[in-house]
Chains A and B, each alone.
Chain A
Amino acid sequence: MDLYPLYNSLRIAAISAMIVFFAGIACAYYIAKLPRVLKGILDVLLTLPLVLPPTVVGYLLLLVLGPKRPVGSFFLESFDIRLTMRWWSAVFAVSVVVFPLMYRTARGAFEQFDENLADAGRTLGLRNSYIFWRIRIPYCKQGIIAGAVLSFARALGEYGATSMIAGYTPGKTATISTAVYQLWRTGNDELALKWVLINIAISAVVLLCVNLLERPQRRKG
């Protein structure tokens, strides 16, 4: 059995989860400080991929990254890099689809933060970056880690946008989800079932981690 789809899925999910982790935290932190109207608009825009069909996200991405489209043709002509139909093309798709999960969990976690702690830190002369990394993030860590794990889990399962932007090339762009579809379509039910079971096992382990992380907090005051 060729394990390439497992390897490819794991690296795409890991890279995407990493990107989304930092981008989601940064957006959650800075957007919370914006004026109300702007905040509302950005919030809708950034959450949209969560409710849109992944094929719509894939279509929109192809509009931008496709070889004849603005960004895509720029990269192709200037650097001879094709942005679609490579294994890492899936990273674009997965990151966009998964981003709202991290963004919203991080925002929820930040909203629980006791702002007095940041104010106390500032009057004590602590740098804002210190307050962010050593006080705010540790305080919100449970929510943030849960968001990251959930993003990773969702990233592993992304199919729609990935299939549009990276396609299915065995040994190149194949992921677990695209492999299952192709194997089933070509009548290879036995192998498809193996991948289904592998996928269920990984997802169950990840969700178990989320549950363990979301156990009641021990903190107060």
Chain B
Amino acid sequence: MLTVDIEKRLDRFTLKARFSCSGEPLALFGASGAGKSMTLKCIAGIEKPDRGYIELNGNVLFDSEKHINLPPQKRKVGYLFQDYALFPDMTVSQNIATGLTRYRGKEKTAKINEFISRFHLDGLESKRPATLSGGEKQRVALARIFASAPDVLLLDEPFSSLDSYLKLELLPYIKNIIKDFKGESILVTHNIDEVLYLCDHAAPINNGVIESTREATVFYNELQEQYKKAGISLPEYHL
């Protein structure tokens, strides 16, 4: 169970994020620059909110009143960056090994191999990120995150830098990963099809204000109404 209730002043608006999720994947849906990524960064501990409270499975990650602010290293939050943020000077294996700091020697090697095969990276072990395709990079980034055994999975527009063919290939793959993942997962996106396919719940975000969480299908109908008013019809989704 992840509970977020934070405020942070930004250049153009004040981010007000208040939501919780437990077990089922949640989508944060909104336009570019609406504060989606900033919300994830606050949860991960990369950015510090001005005020508020973040709690994960009973552990307080951030509490402005009690001056608690755990460093990212202690939050157990897996963050998939938009551009994957693979370490360019390390090989695929070394990148995955950075998530396995709690293992040593043979055990570590075994774990690296386990993640290599689980994420279908066989043969790429000694390659550098610059030589990988977009899909391969994403799998390395995911392998690295899962190697660090996170309790929360934050996906920051995971498909934005992939072409639509690759996206089609990877959507079911990501869906499975989210399904098998025991912790909370939050997806940031501005694509309604990703929301409907991957998430049960959605929270729209407008100018930094996160509205209440609702079922993804309910959200879709609302969005369709908005589009109708603007004279545009959304494609039908059969769910």
Residues on A lying within 8 angstroms of B by beta carbon are: 114, 116-117, 119-127, 135, 138-139, 218-221
Contacts and interface: CB of A to CB of B under 8 A. Distances in A.
A176 B137 CA distance: 53
Given A117-B85, A119-B85, A221-B129, A126 B101 contact: yes
Contacts of A116: 81, 83, 85
Contacts of B148: 123-125
Given A138-B89, A219-B88, A122 B71 contact: yes
B85 A114 contact: yes
Nearest to B144: A124
B79 A120 contact: yes
A123 B87 contact: no
A54 B187 CA distance: 58
B98 A124 contact: yes
Interface string B14-48: 00000000000000000000000000010011100
B216 interface: no
Nearest to B149: A125
Contacts of A220: 130
Contacts of A221: 83, 86, 88, 129-130, 137
A123 B130 contact: no
Contacts, number: 66
Contacts of B79: 119-120, 123
A121 B79 CA distance: 10
Interface in B90-135: 98-99, 101, 129-130
A125 B41 CA distance: 15
B52 interface: no
B101 to A, nearest CB: 6
Contacts of A127: 73
A116 B148 CA distance: 17
Contact of B89 (A119, A120, A124, A135): A135
B46 A126 contact: no
Nearest to B85: A120
A125 B73 contact: yes
19 contacts: A116-B81, A117-B88, A119-B41, A119-B72, A119-B79, A119-B81, A120-B81, A121-B87, A121-B98, A122-B71, A123-B148, A125-B74, A125-B99, A135-B89, A139-B88, A219-B130, A220-B130, A221-B88, A221-B130
Nearest to B77: A123
B78 interface: yes
B77 to A, nearest CB: 6
